[in-house]
Amino acid sequence: MEAGGGRGLRIVGVLGGVGSGKSTAARALADALGAIVLDADAEVAALLAEPAVLERLEAEFGPGLRSGGRLDRKVLGQRVFSDPGARRRLEALLHPEVRRAFHRRLQALEAAGGPGFVVLDVPLLVETGLDALCDFLVYVSLPDPERERRACARHGWSGAEWAAREAAQRSPVEKRGRADAILDNSGGVESLRVQAQALITRIQSLPARPLRERWPVADQPPRRQAP
């Protein structure tokens, strides 16, 4: 906690293009800080496993979304990322629930006391406005061809599918311009850990701020700090 006492949080956001290794970088930062990671993809996966949510998805996007009784996320992705309107409808369904879950987690972490370090692993951090929560933004850098190769190998995407997801986000140039620090992910996990450790003093020196100043109401956008 900050030297003057009182509860508060220090929140680090991770930025990067599709396939840059944001989740790996988030874990490296969290390990170095002793922080909690709030993972948007994990929250979405939990939502998509709920029968009521799956029924709403089928009503919105049509049948054929299930494989073995469960949602086939690849099929859903092919439908929504080829249609910007469908993608926006999916986001309108999922994003409010993810934001509420994050708000509850942040409230609980703040109430528990302790060092109050949090790392946000949110693919659409800027697009959803959750970057306004952050005291420090880190950009994960990796050349475009390598990002495409890694993402396609991991998810079984085609190059066109990777490009569609990349086009649905703010550009890497814009994200990099917002960052307070850069992590180069071309050297592997151990290199990321070394680079993350080098940022710790800067992050620990940030003043803790209470959630009520950042995000007083879960169903409203977080407040941006005055410059």
Domains of the chain plus CATH, in order, are 10-214 (3.40.50.300)
Selection from 151, 147, 149 nearest residue 184 by Cα: 147
Q: Is the pLDDT reported for residue 4 higher than 70? A: no
Q: Decide if pLDDT at 207 tops 80.
A: yes
CB 20 within 8 A of CB 140: yes
Q: Whole-model pTM? A: 0.92
Q: How high is the pLDDT of residue 28?
A: 97
pLDDT exceeds cutoff 90 at 7: no
Residue with tokens 């926006």: 88
